[in-house]
Amino acid sequence: MPNNFSEARFSLLNLHQQLFDAGLVVWSGGNISQRVEGGFLIKPSGLMYPELTQDSMVYCDLDGNVLDGEFAPSSDTAAHAYVYKNMSEVGGVVHTHSNYACAFAAVKKPIPCVLTAIADEFGGEIPVGPFAEIGDDSIGRGVVQTLAGHRSKAVLMAQHGVFAIGQDAKSALKAAVMCEDAAKSSFLAIQLANTLGMRFARPKKLPRGVIDRLFNRYQNVYGQGPKPLT
Ligand SMILES: [Zn+2]
C-alpha cells in the first residue's frame, strides 16, 4: 500500500486513549475518526479501548466502504462518512454518550449559553439534533442539518448522544470534552437553583452581544498565536 497513514493512525490511537481517560466513554462505546486522503480512518467496532492499536484503525471511503482494515469499522461509520462527504471543512469527528450531555439529549433540551466558557467555545447554546436511528445515513444527515452554518462544533442528537466536529480529530475531541464540561456545569447550576428554591435565579443566558464578543476573542485572540518560523 502506498500510504498506510502511519502518522494519522498513531495520532488517532492517542486521541482514543485521551477520550477514554477523559471519562467520556465506557466499555467499547464512542468513536473518533480522522479524514485522510481518499477517505477517513475510524475506530474498529466493538474493540475495548486498551485493545486498540494503530493498525486496528479502519480505512474507509466517503461512502463508508472499508478500503483497508483487519476489523469491521465502527457501527457509526455511515454517520461519519456522511459528515465528511457533506462538510468539506470537517477533518475530524467524535461520537460519545457522555453522561451530562446525554441528560440534555434525553430531554431534548439544548445546553444553554449561561457561562463564558460556553460562549468562548460554542458561540451560543449547544443545539439538539433530530432523533435518528442507526442503520443508514439518517444520523449523519441530522448532524449536518444541525451543524452546517452553526457556530457550535457539537450537537446533541435527540435521545442518543454527542457528535462533535473539528478541523481535525484533535479539535473534534476538544469540542466533545468541552461539550460534556458545559453540560455538567449547566446541569449543576440548574440543580443548584432548584435546590435553593431560587425560582428567579435560574441560570440566565448571556446576552447576544456578550456571547459574540467572547466567541470572537476566544476564536481569534486566545492562545499563543502563530509560532514564529524557525
Ligand atoms: Zn451512539
Residues contacting residue 42 through CB under 8 Å, at least 6 positions apart: 31, 32, 33, 34, 57, 58, 60, 73, 74, 77, 80
Q: How far is the CA of 37 from the centre of ligand 1 (A)?
A: 26
Q: How far is the CA of 30 from the centre of ligand 1 (A)?
A: 7
Residue type, 30: G
Q: Which three cell numbers stand for residue 81?
A: 462518512
Q: How far is the CA of 9 from the centre of ligand 1 (A)?
A: 22
Q: How far is the CA of 71 from the centre of ligand 1 (A)?
A: 19
6-220 is classed in which CATH architecture?
3-Layer(aba) Sandwich (3.40)
- pLDDT for the residue numbered 226: 58
Q: Tens digits of per-residue pLDDT, 30-62?
A: 999 999 999 999 999 999 999 999 999 999 999
Q: DSSP 3-state assignment of 6?
A: helix
- pLDDT for the residue numbered 125: 98
Mean pLDDT within 62-79 = 96
**What does the domain layout of the chain look like in residue ranges?**
6-220
C-alpha dihedral (107, 111, 114, 120), degrees to nearest 10: 180
Percent pLDDT > 90 in the chain is: 87
Q: Tens digits of per-residue pLDDT, 173-203?
A: 999 999 999 999 999 999 998 888 866 678 8
pTM of the model: 0.93
CA dist., res. 131 & res. 93, Å (int)? 19
Q: How far is the CA of 215 from the centre of ligand 1 (A)?
A: 29
